[in-house]
Amino acid sequence: MTDAHVFHGEQIRAATVLPADRRPVELHTADGLRLVGELALPVDHPPVATLVTLHPLPTHGGFMDSHVLRKASYRLPALAGIAVLRFNTRGTTSPAGTSEGAFDDGMGERFDVAAAIEYAEFHEDPPLPGRWLLGWSFGTDLALRYGLDPAIEGAILLSPPLRYSTDADLDAWAASGKPVVAIVPELDDYLRPTEARERFARIPQAEVIGVDGAKHLWVGEPAVRRVLDEIVARVAPSAYPLPTTVPGGQ
C-alpha cells in the first residue's frame, strides 16, 4: 500500500495515512483455510506492542477494513510504535482479498482467532511483543470466547454486544487475571454502559469505559480519536495521548 503524502504539523484527519511498513499476510487455520490480512509495522524501529484485531460481523458489513481498525493501522505504527495485524475471518472479503471458507456464526471462527494469535506469537522479522486482542462488536465475542491464550496480554473490546459470549467465557477471563477493557458507547444499539458494567462485573479486573455521545459504529473523528487514545493508554502508555497533528519527520 502506498501511504498518502503527509507533512509535519498537518492535522490528522479521517483519511490521513501515516508511514508504516505494510505487509500482506496469509494466515493458515487448523481446519485448512487460508485467510488474507495485513501487518502494519513501524518503519524505523521494532514495535513496542501488537494489536491482533478482530472485525465486526461480516454478515453486516464487518471486515478487516472496518474504519476504526483501518485507522488504527494507518496511525498507530507511526504515532505509538504499535504493530497492527488485521485479517478477514473465514468467508469475508475486503480489497486485500477474500478469506477461504464461509461465515460460521462464531463457531469455526475459533480457528481463525487461533491462527492470528499463532502468527503474531511466532513472527520473527520483527518479533511482535506485547500482544493484545482488539475486538469490535462481533470481534469482541470472538476475543472473549477464543482469545484467552498464553500469548495474549489482554483484550480491548469496542462496542461489546455480549451476544455470543457466555458467563463461562467471562469467568475464564476473570480467573486468568488478564486485563479486559470494554469501551462502550453511551448510545450503543446493543449494550450500553450501565448494563455493560453489570455484565462485566463477573470479571473483577475488567474496566468498563463509557463514552458519552458515541454510537456502536464510532462514526466521526472525535469518536475514533477517543478509541485510539484509550487503546494506546493500555498497550503503549508512553505514547499517550496521541498527537492530533503529524509529528516531525513524517
Local confidence band at 126 (pLDDT 50, 70, 90 cut-offs) = very high
Q: Per-residue confidence at 5, pLDDT binned at 50, 70, 90?
A: low
pLDDT at 12: 97
For 203-244, how does the pLDDT look when each residue is reduced to its tens digit (9 = 90+)? 999 999 999 999 999 999 999 999 999 999 999 999 999 999
Q: Which of 95, 93, 27 minimizes the C-alpha distance to 58? A: 93
| Integer Cα distance of 204 and 202 in angstroms | 6
Q: pLDDT tens digits for 158-208?
A: 999 999 999 999 999 999 999 999 999 999 999 999 999 999 999 999 999
Predicted local distance difference test score (pLDDT) of residue 6: 82
If DSSP codes are grouped into helix, strand and coil, which group holds residue 36? strand
101: left (phi over 0), alpha (psi -120 to 50) or beta: left
Q: What is the pLDDT of residue 2?
A: 39
The answer, yes or no, to whether residue 1 has pLDDT greater than 50, is: no
**C-alpha cell read off for 92:** 469475508
- Sequence-distant (≥ 6) Cβ neighbours of residue 151 within 8 angstroms: 117, 118, 120, 121, 131
What H or E segment, with its residue span, contains residue 194?
A: helix 193-200
pLDDT over 70 at 249, yes or no: no
Express each pLDDT in 36-93 by its tens digit. 999 999 999 999 999 999 999 999 999 999 999 999 999 999 999 999 999 999 999 9
- Residues with Cβ within 8 Å of residue 23, at least 6 apart in sequence: 38, 39, 40, 41
pLDDT at 8: 84
Average pLDDT over residues 141-151: 98
Mean pLDDT over residues 136-153, rounded?
98
pLDDT tier, 7 (very low <50, low <70, confident <90, very high otherwise): confident
